[in-house]
Amino acid sequence: MVPSRRAVLRATGTTTLVGFAGCLGALRSGRVGVRIDNRDDRRHAVDVEFLSDGELVAERRFTVDGGTERTAENVVVAGEYRVDVTLDGETHTSVEFTMQGCTDNALFVGIDADGAVEAGVLDEC
């Protein structure tokens, strides 16, 4: 359980907290989001599955209009996953997803003008 700022204040006192305040963000559990960039002019259906040790942890389905971007925040907690991405029920790709030292991060899925799909870690830290 991540302590609240109020609980930390009670436990350490306000004078101790002055030097510690900037570090409270490091106590967050961290989350993973998904960003899909459709550079094709056609609408596509995208299925994203996060797996840990072969077990399905989370699944999200998106419909992305041509030339648009979709995002979802807080899809899974920070961790290491194999992510399977399926485009229109046919084209499939997998990527190993790690946080690369970030507290929060995102999976990037790109659909190019030819309808090909790629996926990777969008390093935002």
Cβ-based neighbour number of residue 32 at 10 Å: 25
Q: Percent of the chain beyond pLDDT 90?
A: 61
Is residue 6 in some structural domain? no
62 vs 48: CA distance, rounded Å: 8
Residues 3-13 have pLDDT tens digits of 444 444 444 44
> 104: domain CATH number?
2.60.40.4150
Is residue 89 in some structural domain? yes
Is residue 66 in some structural domain? yes
Is residue 14 in some structural domain? no
Residues 74-100 have pLDDT tens digits of 999 988 999 999 999 998 999 999 887
pTM of the model: 0.73
Is residue 4 in some structural domain? no
43 vs 28: CA distance, rounded Å: 36
64 vs 81: CA distance, rounded Å: 23
Tell me the residue range of the domain where 81 lies: 30-122
